[in-house]
Structure 1
């Protein structure tokens, strides 16, 4: 008879409950020297209520017990649309647990891929998991809007190596999860039921205090018991029944031996997930947690000393105030050829050292990271030199002035332990992050088309070095990279550049450009770039049409909200802030020339530097943007 352990955590003693749960199903049967692979649930990089990820206390107890049997313990996770595996592990506190227990961490998205055939279907899976000598699954007890619950079975979906798993698997999610579990035999399962989640799981639901630890040997039996505890019928949950049909586990509660607490004593009725949009309307706490907190200073590993090269308007409005607003950052030095700008910046931001030769700044061994805010033709050279001097780099777009230069940059610094992050600040806007989540989860179906219009009046910006008016490409090289990066972020790579029309009407360079593109996912895209605006507040409008719904939003004028039409008639607003916040921020933008994404990007970059975690967007994202921009320019 299959056995499942169900134990309460008494008096806060998590380790004792984990030990009792593991002992109840036969203990850790690992031979000394065997390698043990541990898969926790690290769904998101923030978990303020302890209901999203495997609780570090549970993982700590599991690793401590495993280390009593073997010294070879490896914790694994893969990249996802929310962030890279290392970033999620670091910022959620999981990586600290890994280090404390002398375990290794492996990003499965970087692992060697093997092809495994199960029930006539072939899967791409990481070799580390497929060939594991002993595999331990440490999931979270949560609801899930696509699979009803996410416990042991759904947690194994996270071993798939693709970053955007939704694009590859969400339409066939209930088919893929059973196959993954059949291909990856689990030897031990320990379920974190300290703080569970109900409602809109797996991320935007509500926390439920359960103080439980569960254990078992196979995912079907564990999930069947978990479903009963949560008030669901496991025979109506497809991922359970379809995995059971593959010959795994037991689904009938009467045929399962429960050790510890009887199910009826610990059960409660969880609110069911509502599979509607994946987001919640108007200012809910869940949306604030998911999409807003990136601009709030977060705890980091150490104080970061930064230098800024180039003291023009982008440094004055974005980089310098962003660093100045963080308590764990010191602006150690700035560099610029213009001595008047150096003196102005020194007074305004309290900088201690200034240089007219940027190489003197790079030679300062105490500086950890550099912002490069110079004209584009200097970006590649300065980035290479900064990395060679042991600095992490945040470089304004574009990273280089040609595809050849961009790939040279990638080859020269791509394997360095010091990272390069392209400054695509609009990715950090709450509305942009919401749209990426909605599209990647398939909520508006297959994207058919997109219309993008970016208007920004250059007379308002009044750049210190007017290099934009020297290059013939003008508005294309100024606003184009932002559009292209977001298209890559939302929809993937560009397949064809169908047409481009460029005119010089006011500035002697191209100041009005229209572009027609076809994406690799077959979506048709029309882009308008204009150095003319109907307001001193710029606008960056998007309309994205899918087979199930249409999204429209303005990145600049309404950074906290998106509007979605599900029926082609009515529009519904989804927001992380009240509409009054949008209005007041428009005034601030007009007066101070700032935007929410500015501080959010700087804060994120500093976190990555302090915690030594790779950023997203990546160097390759910046290279791909340069490559697409060159393809467009060649069509003029």
Structure 2
């Protein structure tokens, strides 16, 4: 059998999150070639190239996309560029792995789907938390029907102090699209919908607050705001989401809030049992509790999972999709659902009314 040629990768963006993808690619040296990296900060691009053995450096992503030596790109740019660069990459025949959030405007998701379908290339959203072992076990358990009808879910990612002041674009709504809702909430919302089989949302009621950032409070411990930094996003958001199967999701997310400690969780209530998933954001450990009833007696089961490198696993999954021409786990259609929900939360907060989602 003929040996498959290596997939030649280009990395568009050399910021902090890019290192996870580059490190994963370096571990797949028998299947991929780290061909190029691009960033307007040439120093950052050269530093990443040297560290991970990347062959070429660009400062204009259009030049990288014009190269015939690139098969696939990994996009780790500020949020407002995700859709634009994804579409341009697909249009010139590149496979795409795009960091979350896929879009800051739901309408852009349709354009990504069209570009993907017309190009015949793979497009995947980097929702890494789905690849954690405990999260995957819960997905299989719920989809097997053993939890019965799951009718209620509560999920959140709330921080005590954690406004990301190292990159001012994070709290510029024109560049980021929003605050913790679009930064952290997207992760747990995606996890919850995925565990439930991704039913469509039909309505959303939400509210956002900015009680810390405008006062330059709530930054990571030991970090501080730039003296005159403008803060135009929320630092807490809450939402009530109704799904087409009549199940509901309650979502909460914050960068800063007066709570005991940071909390990342999904809780599912089904007719035959309940599940609680908690993630320690420091060491990546997961705790899962299963609540059932046996012979009329309530039972609690605590499940333990060995930690895994979920960022490597999602990258390897992306490469496998290209090699086998198979549908990615994290699709653009799912990104569209997320985009509609997030957009509706902001709209509901602005209008003070529930938003009906149109399909």
The TM tier, using the shorter chain, reads 0.7 to 0.9
Once the two structures are superposed, what CA deviation does each residue of 1:390-430 show, in whole Å capped at 9, x if it has no partner? 21000112222212222122223324221111111111111
Structure 1 residues 622 and 576, CA gap change in structure 2 (3 angstroms): same
Structure 1 residues 461 and 322, CA gap change in structure 2 (3 angstroms): farther
Matched, 1:488 2:201: no
Residue 569 of structure 1 and its aligned partner are, at CA, apart by 4.6
Distance 1:395 1:525 in 2: 26
The aligned runs of 1:445-460 (5 Å cut-off) are 445-456=148-159, 459=162
Residue 559 of structure 1 and its aligned partner are, at CA, apart by 4.9
Select 1:507's aligned residue among 213, 218, 225. Answer: 213
Structure 1 residues 513 and 374, CA gap change in structure 2 (3 angstroms): same
SS state at 1:562 partner: strand
Alignment partner, residue 598 of structure 1: 311
Distance 1:468 1:457 in 2: 17
SS state at 1:513 partner: strand
Q: Any unmatched runs of 5+ in structure 1? A: 1-95, 101-299, 582-594
Distance 1:337 1:468 in 2: 17
Once the two structures are superposed, what CA deviation does each residue of 1:90-131 show, in whole Å capped at 9, x if it has no partner? xxxxxx9xxx9xxxxxxxxxxxxxxxxxxxxxxxxxxxxxxx
Does structure 2 conserve the Cα–Cα contact (< 8 Å) formed by 1:394 and 1:605? yes
Does structure 1 conserve the Cα–Cα contact (< 8 Å) formed by 2:207 and 2:346? no
Q: Which has the higher contact order (CA 8 A, sep 6+)?
A: 2
The aligned runs of 1:509-588 (5 Å cut-off) are 509-532=233-256, 539-557=263-281, 559=285, 561-567=287-293, 569-577=298-306
Q: Which has the larger Rg? A: 1
Once the two structures are superposed, what CA deviation does each residue of 1:239-268 show, in whole Å capped at 9, x if it has no partner? xxxxxxxxxxxxxxxxxxxxxxxxxxxxxx
Structure 1 residues 354 and 533, CA gap change in structure 2 (3 angstroms): farther
Structure 1 residues 373 and 596, CA gap change in structure 2 (3 angstroms): same
SS state at 1:566 partner: strand
Residue 561 of structure 1 and its aligned partner are, at CA, apart by 5.0
Distance 2:75 2:263 in 1: 25
The aligned runs of 1:149-548 (5 Å cut-off) are 301-316=4-19, 318-328=20-30, 329-456=32-159, 459=162, 463=166, 465-471=167-173, 473-491=178-196, 492-497=199-204, 499-508=205-214, 509-532=233-256, 539-548=263-272
The aligned runs of 1:1-16 (5 Å cut-off) are none
Distance 1:542 1:398 in 2: 19
Alignment partner, residue 266 of structure 1: none
C-alpha RMSD over aligned residues: 2.7
SS state at 2:119 partner: coil
Residue 513 of structure 1 and its aligned partner are, at CA, apart by 1.2
Structure 1 residues 534 and 313, CA gap change in structure 2 (3 angstroms): farther
Matched, 1:607 2:314: no
SS state at 1:634 partner: helix
Distance 2:335 2:8 in 1: 24
Residue 533 of structure 1 and its aligned partner are, at CA, apart by 7.5
Once the two structures are superposed, what CA deviation does each residue of 1:116-155 show, in whole Å capped at 9, x if it has no partner? xxxxxxxxxxxxxxxxxxxxxxxxxxxxxxxxxxxxxxxx
Residue 372 of structure 1 and its aligned partner are, at CA, apart by 0.5
Structure 1 residues 606 and 571, CA gap change in structure 2 (3 angstroms): same
Alignment partner, residue 137 of structure 1: none
Distance 1:606 1:548 in 2: 38
SS state at 1:398 partner: coil
Structure 1 residues 482 and 384, CA gap change in structure 2 (3 angstroms): same
Once the two structures are superposed, what CA deviation does each residue of 1:224-246 show, in whole Å capped at 9, x if it has no partner? xxxxxxxxxxxxxxxxxxxxxxx
Does structure 2 conserve the Cα–Cα contact (< 8 Å) formed by 1:448 and 1:524? yes
Residue 538 of structure 1 and its aligned partner are, at CA, apart by 5.4
Once the two structures are superposed, what CA deviation does each residue of 1:537-577 show, in whole Å capped at 9, x if it has no partner? 95421111111111001245565552101138542123342
SS state at 1:444 partner: coil
The aligned runs of 1:40-189 (5 Å cut-off) are none
Distance 1:560 1:505 in 2: 30
Distance 1:556 1:417 in 2: 39
Does structure 1 conserve the Cα–Cα contact (< 8 Å) formed by 2:40 and 2:60? yes
Does structure 2 conserve the Cα–Cα contact (< 8 Å) formed by 1:559 and 1:596? no
Does structure 1 conserve the Cα–Cα contact (< 8 Å) formed by 2:78 and 2:169? yes
